[in-house]
Amino acid sequence: MDKRVEKNKHTLHDLYAAMTHDLHWETTYQPMDKVFPHDRYEGIKVHDWEKWQDPFRLTSDAYWKFQGEKEKRLYAVVDAFAQNNGQLGVSDGRYVNLLKLFIQAITPNEYYAHRSFAQVGRSLRGDALRIATQMKSADELRHFQNQTHAISNFNKYFNGMHHAPQWFDHAWYLSVSKSFAEDAFSAGPFERLIGLSFGFDDLLTRPLFASLMSAVAHNGDLSAVSVGFTAQSDTSRHMTMGQEAVKFLLQQDAANLTIIQRWIDKWFWRSYRLMTFAAMMQDYMVPKRMMSWKEGWDMFVQKPGEALFAELAQLGLRKPKGWEQACDGKHHISHQAWNAYYGFGHTLAFHTWVPEIAELDWLSQKYPDSFDRWYRPRLEHYAQLHAAGQRLNNQSVPMQCQTCQFPLIFTEQGSGRWTAYRETQHAGETFHFCSDHCEEIFSNEPEKYSQANLASHQILQGQCYNAGVQENTAGFDRQAAVLDFCQIVQGHDNGDFKNSEDALNFENWGAGQDPQEAQL
Amino acid sequence: MTSIDLQAKEIKPTRNTFTHVARYIGGDKPATRYQEATFGAQPTQNFHYRPTWDPKYELFDASRSAIKLADWYVLKDPRQYYYATWTMTRARQQEAVEANYHFVEARGLLGRMSDEVRASACQVLMPLRHVAWAGNMNNCFIAAYGYGTALTAATTFHSMDHLGIAQYLTRLGLAVDEPGILDAGKNDWLNDPRWQVLRRLVEDTLVIQDPMEMFVAQNLALDGQLYPLIYGSYVDEHLTLKGGTAIAMLTSFMPEWHDECVRWVDAVIKAAAAESPENKVLMSDWAKVWSDRVQAALAPVAEIALGEHGQAALQETREVLNARTTKAGLTL
Amino acid sequence: MSNVFIAFQSNEDSRPLVDAIVADNPEAQVVYSPGLVKIDAPGRLVIKRETIEEQIGRPYDLQQLHINLVTLSGNIDEDDDQFTLSWKH
């Protein structure tokens, strides 16, 4: 007998359970542990996967609908920007170097996160969480491709963007970023979930993709700001996933607490170090300045982080060990990094420079406790050297931290004066670190971190020259030989911004914003 | 913004595209968005750590597959999907499905079908939610452990597509709105003898370790027979004749999607096999073994769906797949 | 009490969202910076579908807020009718 079916509106709750957990079954012809071989070895215990819920309850059809809409809008902006020669309308030719560092250091990380979360998306037994991690994998591919496409237009007109994957794999300063991405990629699925979705996404991406992007808008790059903002809308889902995963795992089994705490300590610290690049961008690479790194840190890291950890304290979690030192670092790290990279400016695939006097004044005003005392005098000295035809060009190979792989340029907590050095022994060798926290990361997994390919060591071992290049020959220039090996084009990609090909082109094209004209 | 007199100053680009893209397209020429999004994206060397989850391999390691390619970027997608074009295409398709749901629900068309047709549709389609779920896992495996962005980006999209299908089938079950529909389907999947050969096969695919064997088993052998059989022979040709057009409307995504993907699947297989006689032998062996197993596994399902016409429909489906496989350069 | 916050791209589409939030959250503070609008509120912030629909004069699916969302902070709870950010502590 035919019946009339009544229309029954299903709520998000009902739909979500049917659309996720219910798709799963316990395999019997193949053992579950063979289908899921990687989710036990980290020691994390889960008793009921159905307790993890995505607060957004995003189903596949909604994902396509909203992501498709976002892409439609984004590419309309990117296309219009390119058609209107938007690259000529940015504030100042120096700004483009922010994009260079971005595509060299950040964009490859998006690719790693994409592949990394495909693995997480296959490895975990919980279906709802697996769907969320697969969405993150697709989203990160999106970010990689959006950034590549937006920067493609700038790549046509400026140097330092054309060979980012090559530089990422070989250039000494980018091993900070490569080792970060690979540290996560080589870790297990739970560590990646907690480390990247919580430690990185939830604690530290907001200053890079919110406050820095607002500054980018202020400098006239509508294309990049659109890419950045829409990427962060995806990351809002990822950080939510990470936050829910932390709570879920802590509630699942008491044994998970020590493991999760250690991962949060590690990934907060490694992510904080990676964000040094963002600090440099915010304070030195946006010619029309808005908010300082310190202000962005307060608004987007310190305050929300304090709130978050006050919440998680109820589950037994404490703030990451490096929290106080990182908050202290907000006065210093952008300046320390710029100083260092300025001095190594001939070995980078982006330009560096001494800021103008008005810009130095802005930095003095924004950093009353540190800039005039520790950093301004050095920058003014560099300006004098440059004017006298002796632009600083550090010929030495920088000593790198074994863990984060930054050069050892950071100072002790509470001091702008004393560079921090740590060292430890393992298997008959001495290893060097920038901080207690990097040393502790090493000591927890010495076999892993002692494998790392430190570029400074490789250079000194003569492994960074093209075939046929000999050290003990007349006219041998190690810096030039290494640049050739890395395929950084000398005189085009590297060196001071002043009199660079980029600077001359920018001026010849009549590009830049009239300082008198109104802005966004 | 400062105005630019384009006639007075010639603003010529220094280059057309990225160096690592130019390498793949025969020099510094204007590149498509697909090309820039795909070529040279995956890191290849100088890795800092070995994977703790499988230390015998590198982080990205072509040796996970027995297939050997000088350049994994030959596995190009003829659809040239990058994230934006994939999502925008799927968003349009999703709108069409949404419109179909409105149409069907507003007129109560599911209720107007005979009980027999409605029951048949649920019996056949509900267990397939779980098959699609495995399709998601298997393509996710390739995206995770495969080599080169040409293959792994496309399988990322394909994995999400399978999830979409699993969820569309779920939504269909919910729309039928009889209590226990989804549970009955799961129970059949787990316990009904007629579904066990397929379930065993699907579980065997879940533990394949070679990403290219996975590609052949899931995307060619299994989907290549499952989709034409179910959405062609069963839904479009059989159910609609018996008043089940509403089912065809609510599953319209599946056959359209399958037809679109065939171009891509066949192109990947062809490119991999064309590289060497060894590759061709490997791919052909996988295709034969898995296609045979799939056909045997679908035999009882074809009977549930089409009764006495099931085997003939299945045989026809297999022959079409054989023709595809041969055209892609394999020998069966 | 700690703040929760939500930030959107500053454009025509997000304007009714901001107006709805201000209407339903008397303690909310709105700050604009280039391209971005950020709304802070002490302890709790709720976005109601009904209020948005009143603003725009047509049906609204709360999941649409993904399109212009940039970032947020707080525990999330969402159903068909409202989206809430809150801290328990």
Chain-chain contact of A210 with C35 (C-beta, under 8 angstroms): no
Residue B270 CA neighbour count, 13 Å, CB half? 14
Rounded CA gap, A36 and B319, in Å?
35
Q: If you count DSSP H runs as helices and E runs as strands, how many of each does chain A have, helices first? A: 26, 2
d(CA A10, CA B174): 8
pLDDT at C89: 86
Query: Quick one: which of A431, A432, A421, A204 has its CA closest to A326?
Result: A204
Residue C56, C-beta contacts closer than 8 angstroms, at least 6 positions apart = C16
- Give dist(CA B204, CA B223) in Å, integer: 15
Q: Is C79 on the interface with A (CB under 8 A)?
A: yes
- 8 Å CB contact of A233 and C68: yes
In which region does residue A353 sit, left (phi positive, over 0), alpha (psi from -120 to 50) or beta (all else)? Answer: beta
Per-residue model confidence (pLDDT) at position A15: 80
- Both tokens of residue A209? 């993709």
- pLDDT tens-digit map of B207-246: 999 999 999 999 999 999 999 999 999 999 999 999 999 9
Pick A152's closest partner by Cβ from B36, B95, B141.
B36
The chain C residue lying nearest A67, using CA atoms, is C67
Instruction: Say what the pLDDT of residue A514 is.
Output: 64
Q: Does A13 touch chain C (CB under 8 A)?
A: yes
Cα-based torsion angle of the residue sequence C21, C24, C27, C30 in order, rounded to the nearest 10 degrees? 20
Mean pLDDT, rounded, for C6-13? 95
Q: What are phi and psi of B172, to 5 degrees?
A: -60, -45
The tens digit of pLDDT for each residue in A46-87 reads 999 999 989 999 999 999 999 999 999 999 999 999 999 999
Rounded to whole angstroms, the Cα distance separating A497 from A353 reads 6
Cα separations in angstroms, A377 against A364, A372, A382: 11, 7, 9
pLDDT for position A191: 98
**How would you classify residue A490: left for phi > 0, otherwise alpha for psi between -120 and 50, otherwise beta?**
beta
- The tokens for B149 are 């962005």
Closest Cα partner for B270 from B326, B224, B226, B313? B326
Residue B329 C-alpha, separation from nearest chain A C-alpha, in angstroms? 30
Question: What residues of C are in contact with residue A73 (Cβ under 8 Å)?
Answer: 67
Pairwise CA distance, residues B202 & B223, whole Å:
11
Burial class (CB in 10 A: 0-12, 13-18, 19+), B109: buried
Query: Which class for A44: exposed (0-12), middle (13-18), buried (19 or more C-beta within 10 A)?
Result: buried
Q: Residue B223 corresponds to which tokens in the numbers above?
A: 């989907």
- Residue among A5, A24, A122 minimizing CB distance to B111: A5
Confidence of residue B7 (pLDDT cuts 50, 70, 90): very low
What's the CA angle centered on B94, arms B91 and B100, to 5 degrees? Answer: 150
Give residue A10's pLDDT band: very low, low, confident or very high (50, 70, 90): low
What tokens does A458 get? 């490789």
Kindly report the average pLDDT of chain B as a whole number: 95
Contact in structure between A389 and A381 (CB atoms under 8 Å)? no
Please give the Cα distance from B193 to B202 (Å, whole number): 15
- So where are chain C's domains? 3-86
Q: Do B143 and A168 touch (CB under 8 A)?
A: no
Domain C3-86 adopts which CATH fold?
Answer: Phenol Hydroxylase P2 Protein (3.90.56)
Closest-CA residue of C relative to A309 is: C89
C-alpha–C-alpha distance, residues A450 and A409, integer Å: 21
| pLDDT exceeds cutoff 70 at C42 | yes
Q: Which of A142, A232, A301, A317 is the mutation pick for testing C, counting most C CBs within 10 A?
A: A232
C68 touches A at CB < 8 Å? yes
Stretch 460-489 of chain A: residues touching chain B, C-beta under 8 Å: 487
Report pLDDT digits (tens) over B31-87.
999 999 999 999 999 999 999 999 999 999 999 999 999 999 999 999 999 999 999
The reply to whether residue A12 touches residue C80, judged by beta carbons under 8 angstroms, is yes
**Shortest Cα distance, chain C CAs vs residue A82, angstroms:** 19
Q: Shortest CA distance to B66 belongs to which of B237, B274, B272?
A: B272
Helix or strand (DSSP H, E) at A380 = helix A376-387
CA distances from B304 to A461, B22, B125, B298, C46 (A): 69, 53, 11, 10, 51
Does the pLDDT at position A4 exceed 50? no
Check whether B327 has a pLDDT greater than 50.
yes
Cα dihedral sign, A338-A343-A344-A349:
positive
Question: What are the tokens at A257?
Answer: 């607490």
Please name the residue of chain A whose CA is at the shortest distance from the CA of residue C70.
A233
A233 to chain C: nearest residue by CA?
A: C70
The domain spans of chain A are 49-353+392-397+490-508
Between CA B151 and CA B73 the distance in angstroms is 8
- At A137, list the tokens: 């994998």
Cα–Cα distance, C8 to A210 (Å, whole number): 10
Q: Which 3 state secondary structure label does DSSP give B279? A: helix
Judged by CB atoms closer than 8 Å, whether chains meet at B83 and A64 is answered as no
Whether A517 sits inside 8 A of B173 (CB atoms) is: no
Using CA of residue A464, residue A468, residue A473, residue A477, what is the dihedral sign? negative
Percent over 70 (pLDDT), chain A? 96
Q: How confident is the model at residue A96 (pLDDT cuts 50, 70, 90)?
A: very high
Whether B226 and B131 have beta carbons less than 8 Å apart is answered as: yes
Three-class secondary structure of residue C71 per DSSP: strand
A447 in contact with B, Cβ within 8 Å? no
β-pairing verdict for C3-9 and C36-42 = antiparallel
Cα B14 from Cα A505, distance rounded (Å): 10
pLDDT digits (tens, 9 = 90+) for A112-141: 999 999 999 999 999 999 999 999 999 999
Residue type, position A57, single letter: R
**Alpha carbon A44 to chain centroid, angstroms:** 27
Digit-coded pLDDT (tens) for A325-366: 999 999 999 999 999 999 999 999 999 999 999 999 999 999
Across the interface, of A11, A214, A236, the residue whose CB is closest to C80 is: A11
Please determine, for residue A3, whether its predicted confidence score (pLDDT) is greater than 80: no
To the question of pTM greater than 0.90 for the whole model, the response is yes
For B51, phi then psi, to 5°, come to -65, 130
The Cα of A304 is separated from the nearest Cα of chain B by a number of Å equal to 31
For a pLDDT cut of 70, what percent of chain B falls above it? 97
pLDDT at A9: 58
Say which residues have a Cβ less than 8 Å from residue B247's Cβ, sequence separation at least 6: B113, B117, B121, B125, B172, B235, B239, B240
Q: What is the pLDDT at residue B10?
A: 66
Q: What local confidence, expressed as pLDDT, does residue B58 receive?
A: 96
Distance CA C40, CA C43 (A): 9
Position B239 scores a pLDDT of: 96
Q: Which residues of A touch B83 (CB under 8 A)?
A: 71, 138, 141-142, 145-146
What CA–CA distance (Å, rounded) separates A42 from A191?
8
> Closest-CA residue in chain B for A157?
B13
User: Is the pLDDT reported for residue A519 higher than 80?
Assistant: no
List chains adjacent to chain A, taking adjacency as at least 3 C-beta pairs closer than 8 Å: B, C
CATH topology of domain A49-353+392-397+490-508: Ribonucleotide Reductase, subunit A (1.10.620)
Question: What pLDDT is recorded for position A244?
Answer: 96
Helix axes A357-366, A376-387, angle to 10 degrees: 170
The answer to whether the Cβ–Cβ distance between B48 and A157 falls below 8 Å is no
Contact between chains at C36 and A519 (C-beta distance less than 8 A): no
At A195, phi and psi to the nearest 5?
-65, -45
- What confidence tens digit (pLDDT) does each residue in B309-321 have? 999 999 999 999 9
Q: Region A150-167: what's the mean pLDDT? A: 97
Contacts of A14 in chain B (CB under 8 A): 174
**Where do runs of H (alpha helix) occur along chain B?**
19-22, 33-38, 83-106, 109-112, 115-125, 128-145, 149-176, 181-191, 193-206, 211-214, 223-227, 245-250, 253-274, 277-306, 310-327
Per DSSP, the three-state class of C29 is strand
Q: Name which of A452, A32, A185 is nearest B53 in CA terms.
A: A185
First to last CA, chain A: 66
Nearest to A403 by CA among A439, A445, A447, A451: A439
Residue C84: other Cβ atoms inside 10 A: 17
Judge whether A323 and A303 are in contact, CB under 8 Å.
no
Cβ within 8 Å, pair A303-C74? no
Chain A interface includes C80 (CB < 8 A): yes
